[in-house]
Amino acid sequence: MSDKELLNEVVARAEQWLEGNYDAETKAEVKALLEAEDKAPLIDAFYRDLEFGTGGLRGIMGAGTNRMNIYTVGAATQGLSNYLLKSFPDKEQISVCIGYDCRNNSEKFSKISADIFSANGIKVYLFESLRPTPEMSFAIRELGCQSGIILTASHNPKEYNGYKAYWEDGAQVLMPHDKNIIAEVEAIASIDDIKFQGNNDLIEILGEEMDKTYIDRVAGLSLSPEAVVNNKDLKIVYTPIHGTGVKLVPMALKAFGFENVIHVEEQDVVSGNFPTVVSPNPEEPAALELAIAKAKETDADIVMATDPDSDRIGVAMKDDKGEWILVNGNQTALLLTYYMITKWKENGLITGNEFFVKTIVSTELLKEVAEANGVESHDCYTGFKWIASVIKGFEGKKKYICGGEESFGFLCQDFVRDKDAVSACAMFAEMTAWAKDKGFSLYELLQNIYLEYGYSKEKMIYIVRKGKEGADEIRQMMVDMRNEAPKTLAGSKVTLIKDYLALTTKNTETGDVEKLDFPATSDVLQFFTEDGSKVSVRPSGTEPKIKFYMEVKGELASNEAYRDAEAKADAKVEAIAKDLKLV
């Protein structure tokens, strides 16, 4: 399609919004886009419909088919309603659960969604105020709902919002449900097909009773209650970064037995504008600056943060010189996995029928820890819906211990089917107390794991390309890499290439190609080198980015050699980044 054809199509779509039964504010915004000299914002707002990706609907708020607004949310909810009615024709009363976070318009979108579901004869359990994503996932299962949604854009910047759809198992929708829901949305001819007039008799408000039920289940996860008793005054600095963790994370820590949670008052303020940070992302060092300042002021033992919907955990700890350093997502998962499997083993809970799950882009050390302790390790695609799918596949057959991913997501149990920073914070605090009981810090615990299982260093670099042109450029980058894969990385020969779009594994030395056993295709490439390095490349499903995940192996002979091992690994990561022309 030529640029002129694209613009004509976009203008036609926008003009339909001027003629349709849209509200005056929306029409004024569309009119301004049409009249503006720069047509790029108009094109970006209308060149496509928002689609379900790895995190459901997610986009910038505003008018347009490619924007988050009451009409795109309304169409998604009507489509989901239609699909639920078709999927459960014999169900006397279909029910859904709705949650929302602190973002601008999240409450508004949630109430509009509640009206639409109820207008379609579907019972709605709507949280009275903002709640963590994992609690909504828990409530679906607890209440026996057939579906659920949460209005959140997770850790994205403030101009974004999102809409995650869940199925009756409490997990985000997978195929065929995601594609079928989209088909139902696309079948809606106009906004007049959306039933906006709600039925209050079918809307029930959820409050503190569900909070208590959820927290009681989280408290039951404790593996070292004696360590908590011994360290109940552990100084824990916690920040919700203006989001939903503000209430439930301190509740969970208290339920475990911790009595000294130190708040970052400025970030306890619930706000979709995230006034103290550029981005409410616990991956970003800047998001934890205030918490680390509070930790220095109070001589704290640990710093923990959660993103706006409290499904991702960020952690900072002291190094051997007493300086505060950030723990990356792989290290967070590694520490928690090591701790939980170690304690399960100590507590006599390992029987040979347990399993652990990680994503393909996460560190391979997780697999080493699990399998060395008699626990099966399973790989899946990026996104916790895939971890939930593995859990569901083994339900009633094997026992899930935990699962994690490099992007700061972890799940300590299976009564939630999405990443859960509420339980992860409680478990991380308990692990800190357990390590302290044994006479070592978290920093030393991490070194001990490396000494036992081998050292690795991970880094993720991403390239941002916004709008339609950016999306086209990212697609071309993946095509180019498939057509001309790197032969060496940091001087080491690439010996294996995995292409999850073709579902093939190619041995570059023999030319042999084998099929990958995965439930669906995904636009991911992986390169494995002779010296044990791994590079994964994938476009983000929720952001205008292409991501490069690098993991290199190193040697660590002693705790004293840790910094030297880090420096050598950093140099290798830098060399790989140069080979890929990322720096």
The residues near 376 (Cβ < 8 Å, ≥ 6 apart) are: 354, 355, 356, 370, 398
- Judge contact between 542 and 550, C-beta under 8 A: no
Beta bridge pairs of residue 98? 126, 149
State yes or no: cis peptide before 176, omega within 30 of 0. Answer: yes
Residue with the two structure tokens 């010189």? 321
Q: State the Cα–Cα distance between residues 393 and 294, nearest whole angstrom.
A: 44
Listed in sequence order, the DSSP H helices in 438-552 are 442-453, 467-483
Listed in sequence order, the DSSP H helices in 124-206 are 133-143, 177-186
Catalytic residue list contains 377: no
At 310, is the secondary structure helix, strand, or coil?
Answer: coil
Q: State the Cα–Cα distance between residues 315 and 339, nearest whole angstrom.
A: 16
At 172, is the secondary structure helix, strand, or coil?
Answer: strand
Q: State the Cα–Cα distance between residues 326 and 301, nearest whole angstrom.
A: 13
Length of the chain: 583
Beta bridge pairs of residue 545? 464
Dihedrals phi, psi of 223, to nearest 5 degrees: -110, -20
Q: State the Cα–Cα distance between residues 179 and 164, nearest whole angstrom.
A: 14
Residue with the two structure tokens 């579907």? 122
Beta bridge pairs of residue 570? none
Residue with the two structure tokens 């914002």? 41
Q: State the Cα–Cα distance between residues 45 and 390, nearest whole angstrom.
A: 36
> Of the candidates 346, 9, 373, 347, which has an alpha carbon nearest to the alpha carbon of residue 356?
373
> Which position among 95, 154, 389, 456 bears the catalytic label?
154
Give the tokens for residue 522: 């995904």
DSSP result, 110-123? HHHHHHHHHHTT-E
> Of the candidates 230, 228, 234, 248, which has an alpha carbon nearest to the alpha carbon of residue 302?
234
The amino acid occupying position 61 is M
- The number of beta carbons lying within 10 Å of the beta carbon of residue 219 is 17
Residue with the two structure tokens 């569900």? 210
The amino acid occupying position 335 is L
Give the containing element (helix H, strand E) for 349. none
Q: State the Cα–Cα distance between residues 555 and 543, nearest whole angstrom.
A: 35
Q: State the Cα–Cα distance between residues 435 and 321, nearest whole angstrom.
A: 18
Known catalytic residues are 154
